[in-house]
């Protein structure tokens, strides 16, 4: 510990040397000096807790004000400096005594509707970058003292605040302890977003599939807590992460639970059909073109041969080129402003697709197949899983070019083995399919009526 001495003000100002944004306010007649960062504190809080109390009083009345509960005495120089960095005002009295006053008011945007995980029916609000606001949205939904919140600081330089949330009596204590140990092992200088934290917690970094579930929706986070999962919030990030995670969670949407069960079940069936299309459609085209063309009906075969007759590339190169163009359009649409991005995606797809067919650069059948495959990828509710499926699609295309349908089947078996072997915080990633749990199937591929949910 570094204890203060009579040169307290000079020591602190030396710690913040070349920090021109540090504000110093003095009350000479009271022998008081106040240090704070103006962009971290609230103007009203500064006026009510600092300016007004120390205005128009005598020096013998200062001690009465410093005894108020909002004034916390500090004896450690590091604690004083950290208090200023956290948005507190440091009040130095007679250059020997120091008190911190919490007047931190973060400059953040207001709570708005979810932009990525949109729903048709249900709550619209989403997390923001302020961790206190995010925690309040969860506390507002779970009004119980069994909701526990553990606080951490991540990053030796950034000292980013993080909360770990769980419900006592529902969440496994072993799970909480294991995640605490993982967090304590993180040794980095700084962190800016929750998705970076996920990569430090990830045990299988070489896997293309996400092993932690992240969401921008407080209602989804609340549901995860009620299911016995652990939630993490990070200051500065408009997301939460939950663990343990299963593969099937990424194909579920809040709409499934807010609508009647049969609609939710049909929606999920559509998503899993889209999963098969986005993984195998382009690979199927390559396999048929290079190896198993005999499965095409005779009438369609003539059109198929005619569409490919002017294409100078083999099916593999043709498919990779068109798929890469689709990925370029997707990235361009995501990086540009929303209205321009939509225009680029639509116009670019139509113009490039039409031009590619007319120039003999690609067959019209492949354009249809790739378009359906790209549209199917957007049916998956979570963008992180969508990115994983896009990578897997290219792998299946290459395997199909090597061994046709046998290559696709081989890749599918390897994919299943990989998914079944993955674990997240001790839980199997492909549960309840592997290992099979019949009682849990009611909320995976289907969404059973609520009367079947006993727990």
Question: For residue range 290-335, what is the model confidence (pLDDT) as tens digits?
Answer: 888 888 887 787 777 877 777 888 889 988 988 888 888 888 777 7
Distance CA 12, CA 432 (A): 57
Binned at pLDDT 50, 70 and 90, residue 402 comes out as very high
Distance CA 268, CA 256 (A): 8
Structural domain spans, the chain: 8-102, 131-245, 258-439
Position 344 scores a pLDDT of: 67
Distance CA 77, CA 254 (A): 49
* Contact yes or no for 179/241 (Cβ under 8 A): no
pLDDT digits (tens, 9 = 90+) for 340-359: 666 666 667 777 777 777 77
Distance CA 18, CA 240 (A): 36
Distance CA 430, CA 450 (A): 23
Alpha helices by DSSP H, 185-260: 194-201, 218-226, 254-258
Q: Spell out a b/e string for 26-57, using b for 16 or more CB atoms within 10 Å of the CB, else e.
A: ebeebebbbbbbeebbeeebbeebbeebbeee
128 or 56: which leads in pLDDT:
128
* Contact yes or no for 329/356 (Cβ under 8 A): no
Beta strands in 124-205 (DSSP E): 147-154, 160-167
- Using the structure block, give the residue that is written with the tokens 């045990």: 203
Structure tokens given for 204:
């299988």
Task: Report the alpha-carbon angle 323-329-335, nearest 5.
Answer: 135
* Contact yes or no for 82/40 (Cβ under 8 A): no
What is the model's pTM? 0.81
pLDDT digits (tens, 9 = 90+) for 286-300: 999 888 888 888 778
């Amino acid at each position: 510990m570094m204890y203060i001495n009579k040169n307290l003000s000079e020591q602190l100002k030396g710690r913040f040397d070349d920090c021109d944004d540090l504000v110093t306010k003095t009350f000479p007649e009271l022998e008081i000096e106040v240090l704070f960062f103006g962009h971290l504190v609230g103007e009203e809080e500064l006026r009510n807790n600092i300016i007004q109390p120390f205005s128009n009083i005598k020096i013998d009345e200062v001690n009465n004000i410093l005894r108020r509960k909002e004034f916390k005495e500090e004896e450690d120089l590091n604690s004083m400096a950290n208090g200023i960095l956290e948005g507190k005002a440091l009040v130095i009295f007679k250059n020997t005594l120091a008190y911190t006053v919490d007047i931190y008011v973060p400059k953040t945007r207001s709570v708005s509707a979810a932009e990525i995980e949109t729903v048709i029916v249900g709550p619209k609000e989403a997390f923001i970058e302020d961790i206190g606001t995010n925690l309040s949205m969860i506390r507002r939904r779970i009004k119980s003292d069994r909701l526990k919140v553990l606080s951490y600081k991540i990053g030796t330089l950034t000292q980013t605040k993080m909360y770990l949330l769980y419900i006592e009596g529902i969440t496994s204590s072993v799970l909480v302890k294991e995640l605490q140990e993982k967090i304590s092992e993180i040794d980095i200088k700084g962190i800016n977003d929750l998705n970076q934290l996920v990569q430090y917690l990830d045990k299988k970094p070489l896997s293309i599939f996400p092993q932690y579930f992240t969401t921008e929706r407080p209602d989804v986070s609340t549901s995860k807590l009620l299911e016995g999962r652990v939630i993490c919030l990070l200051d500065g990030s408009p997301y939460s992460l939950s663990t343990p995670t299963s593969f099937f969670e990424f194909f579920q949407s809040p709409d499934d639970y807010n609508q009647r069960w049969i609609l939710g079940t049909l929606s999920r069936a559509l998503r899993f059909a889209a999963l098969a299309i986005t993984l195998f459609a382009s690979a199927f085209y390559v396999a048929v073109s290079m190896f198993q063309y005999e499965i095409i009906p005779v009438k369609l075969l003539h059109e198929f041969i005619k569409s490919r007759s002017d294409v100078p590339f083999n099916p593999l190169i043709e498919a990779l080129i068109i798929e890469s163009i689709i990925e370029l359009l997707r990235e361009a649409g995501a990086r540009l402003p929303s209205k321009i991005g939509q225009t680029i995606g639509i116009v670019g797809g139509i113009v490039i697709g039409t031009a590619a067919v007319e120039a003999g650069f690609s067959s019209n059948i492949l354009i249809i197949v790739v378009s359906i495959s790209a549209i199917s990828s957007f049916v998956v509710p979570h963008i992180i899983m969508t990115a994983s499926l896009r990578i897997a699609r290219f792998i299946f295309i290459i395997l199909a070019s090597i061994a046709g349908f046998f290559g696709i089947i081989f890749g599918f078996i390897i994919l299943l083995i990989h998914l079944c072997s993955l674990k997240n915080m001790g839980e199997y990633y492909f549960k309840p399919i592997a290992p099979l749990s019949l009682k849990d199937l009611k909320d995976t591929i289907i969404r059973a009526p609520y009367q079947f949910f006993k727990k």
